[in-house]
Amino acid sequence: MANDHDTVVYEVSNGIAWLKFNRPEKRNAMSPALNRAMMEALDALEFRDDVGVLVLTGEGTSWTAGMDLKEYFRETEKDGLKGVRKSQRESYGWWRRLRWYQKPTIAMVNGWCFGGGYGPLFACDLAFCADEAKFGLSEINWGILPGGGATKVAVELLPFRKAMYHAMLGEPIDGKTAAEWGLVNESMPLAALKDRVTAVAQTLLQKNPVALKATKDAVRRVGVMTYDEAEDYLVRAQEAANSYDNEGRKEGIRQFIDEKSYKPGLGAYDK
């Protein structure tokens, strides 16, 4: 029997947790075992003091080839509805955890990203990919609709016509196209990807962590609110953040106004 824990690996270095899909021989397809291991890894890393940013990447040539068609679909369906619902809960569960993660998260898409992979892709706050990567809603190619949130992700990130084309045609697009369409922030040659992601992570590490969590949640939340609801939510979110971090923003103001040691328009205050 496969050891759940081999399917996911992580290491923490200089404030960054590098979390990896680790089934390269299966193109990092998400099996139930991998989904359980991911939830455990996210749990283990979330509140560690030495983790300021989490990067999700893949071992080998793939980020993730989506759900494991054998272990996630065919084998769980043998157990009827309860098998299906259990495995859905395990996958949706860690994507949801990731969407609302305490720390900023970055998808570093090194290769294939298909179908169910759009769940964790969207769950990460930022996404950078290799030009060599390929993204696709391949569900239509084997006869299902893009479920598990994949259709929602396409509609959230892409204009209507592109979302419809992407979902109906099942044609993979390369990294550069994914960046042009808005599936990721940026695409670059694979050889440059890790350095760029490290630089972004280091910049995030310099920011006030309470403000970062409040900010990332706000960006996800306000999309479905009216302007007035958003204004109200943001007032309360800032007040809640203040209660956990009374000193941070005062220090930020002090260093700018009194000490004149930095300019908030150009970078972060010295924590």
Residue type, 35: N
Residue 125 binds ligand ACO (CB under 6 A): no
Residue 74 binds ligand ACO (CB under 6 A): no
Whole-Å CA distances, 24 to 28, 57, 130, 132, 255: 5, 12, 17, 16, 48
Residue 10 binds ligand ACO (CB under 6 A): no
Distance, CA of 23 to CA of 123 (rounded, Å): 20
Candidates 65-73, 101-109, 196-204, 216-224 — which segment interacts with ligand ACO by CB under 6 A? Answer: 65-73
Instruction: Using CB under 6 A, pick the residue from 5, 70, 86, 254 that binds ligand ACO.
Output: 70
Instruction: Using CB under 6 A, pick the residue from 139, 166, 183, 209 that binds ligand ACO.
Output: 139
Please give the distance of CA 212 from its chain centroid, rounded to a whole number: 15
Q: Which of 271, 244, 269, 242 is nearest to 258 (CA)?
A: 269
Instruction: Using CB under 6 A, pick the residue from 8, 16, 17, 29 that binds ligand ACO.
Output: 29
Residue 214 binds ligand ACO (CB under 6 A): no
Residue 67 binds ligand ACO (CB under 6 A): yes
Contact 54, 103 (CB under 8 A): yes
Distance, CA of 125 to CA of 127 (rounded, Å): 7
Q: Which is nearer to ligand ACO, 173 or 205 (CB)?
A: 173
Whole-Å CA distances, 242 to 22, 72, 101, 246: 39, 43, 19, 5
Instruction: Using CB under 6 A, pick the residue from 27, 36, 166, 213 that binds ligand ACO.
Output: 27
Distance, CA of 84 to CA of 197 (rounded, Å): 35
Q: Which is nearer to ligand ACO, 27 or 103 (CB)?
A: 27
Residue whose beta carbon is closest to ligand ACO: 115
**Residues contacting ligand ACO: total by CB under 6 A:** 17
Q: Which is nearer to ligand ACO, 104 or 115 (CB)?
A: 115
Residue 132 binds ligand ACO (CB under 6 A): no
Q: Indicate the helix (H) or strand (E) that contains 53.
A: strand 53-58
**By the criterion CB under 6 A, which residues form the site for ligand ACO?**
26-27, 29, 61, 65-70, 112, 114-116, 138-139, 148
